[in-house]
Amino acid sequence: MSLAPANHMGHAMAQGGVTMPDMPFSVVKRDDLVPRCPHCAQELADVYMRTKGAGFVEGKNVLYFCHHCLKVLGFGQSRMI
């Protein structure tokens, strides 16, 4: 039995759906499209956010959540503080 080359990288990495901040994709500005919530599939004309008070959110971290089902959409870094 020989050592197999380590070039068989599977795409099933257990990252838990974490979005990379520096993914190499092109950004197209589409203000005419309304994003939908991945949880309740309703249109997100607005996205709620809060900066503190959630316990696990500290400092300048921003928590974004859907205003329909109030489920968390993601986290961000606020640079306005």
Nearer to Zn ion, 62 or 65 (CB): 65
Give the residues lining the site for Zn ion (CB under 5 A).
37, 39-40, 66, 68-69
Nearer to Zn ion, 37 or 49 (CB): 37
CB of 74 to Zn ion, least distance (A): 12
CA distances from 68 to 11, 34, 72 (A): 33, 14, 11
Nearer to Zn ion, 38 or 59 (CB): 38
CB of 50 to Zn ion, least distance (A): 16
Q: Which residues pair with 63 in a beta bridge?
A: 50, 75
CB of 47 to Zn ion, least distance (A): 10
Please compute, for residue 79, the number of CA atoms within 13 A of its CA located in the half-sphere on the CB side.
Answer: 0
Contact 71, 48 (CB under 8 A): no
